[in-house]
Structure 1
Amino acid sequence: MSVPPLEGSQDAGEGGEWDLLTSKVQAWLNSGQLQEIGQSARTPLTALLAVVAAVLVLRVYAALLGALDSLPLVPGLLELVGVIWVLRHGLPKLLRSSEREQLTQQLQRRWNAFLGKS
């Protein structure tokens, strides 16, 4: 399939489509419409970039966890460290009533701040 040359082009054998396309693109760029489109798409573009960045960070994080999981003894040691931390720091806060009340008040303040009520 061949495209016939445009009427009025310099060389009827070469066509003039490329020149026409470049002149139209140049005129569009000079008209300032690209800047208007950029301004109107700034917020969606920022949101899209944030989503892409989040996906990238999650992929790197998953790869790091996969690498740690493949090492012998590391998953078990990390689980043991987590259990020790919960027993050492979390359990005393749940056993004493004053600490428990303070913890629930702090969680309630954070929840209200998250909801925008404070």
Structure 2
Amino acid sequence: MGPTDEPLSGAPADPTAAVPPAMDAEAKTVVDPVVVPQSEPEPVAGSEPTDALHDASAEPATAPDPMPPSQDPAIASTVSIPAEETSEGGEWDLLTGKLRDWMANNELNEIWEKTQTPAKLVGLLILVIVVLQIYSGILNTIEKLPLAPGLLELAGVIWLARFALQNLVRSGDRKQALDGLRNLWGKVTGR
């Protein structure tokens, strides 16, 4: 606050008025700070002040009394368990023992057999996503090169025209090309 600034209405003019009483170290007595009376806020035209507003400004607010601690005996009592001096923990032994029992009962094999197909499907899905991301990255890189997309499209049209002239013009060649495609499809699908 600067030297020319005025305090806000409702705020104490003296900054020490908001400080709680302090203990005097030598006398062990409470030192009361200087309290500056606050001016009451001006009422707004057309509205009537409420009693709660006047009551709150006339009497200082007191802090509510703290709640008494719970009387529940289960919460109120404490349990003390002495530590064993010879014990080293034993968690590792407990874990390895449970794993040995689990493997001895073939529970691991049963769980693997139940989850083998879904695990393969999830792995295959992750692999397909990774391959598609790599493929799209390669295509985006090629697309950014000048002249590369046009030249690759031209190469594709030339290859398609050459394949059509060699394999699709005559009926015998066309039948041989379709049989080769059916044979390849049968090998891929396992039929």
Aligned to 2:164: 90
Determine which structure has greater relative contact order: mean sequence separation of CA pairs < 8 Å that are 6+ residues apart, divided by chain length: 2
CA RMSD in angstroms, aligned pairs only: 3.3
Unmatched runs of 5 consecutive residues or more in structure 1: 12-18
**Equivalent residues, number:** 104
Query: Which of 81, 100, 106 in structure 1 is aligned with 2:155?
Result: 81
The one-letter amino acid of 1:35's match is: L
1:54 Cα deviation after fit? 1.3
Q: Residue 179 of structure 2 corresponds to which residue in structure 1?
A: 105
Normalising by structure 2, report the TM-score: 0.43
2:119 matches 1:45: yes
| CA 1:108–1:57: 2 relative to 1, 3 Å | closer
- Which residue of structure 2 aligns with residue 29 of structure 1? 99
In terms of fraction of residues, the more helix-rich structure is 1
CA distance in 2, matches of 1:9, 1:91: 91
Once the two structures are superposed, residues 27-57 of structure 1 have per-residue CA deviations (whole angstroms, 9 ceiling, x without a partner) of 6534316624234322321221121111111
Identity %, equivalent residues: 29
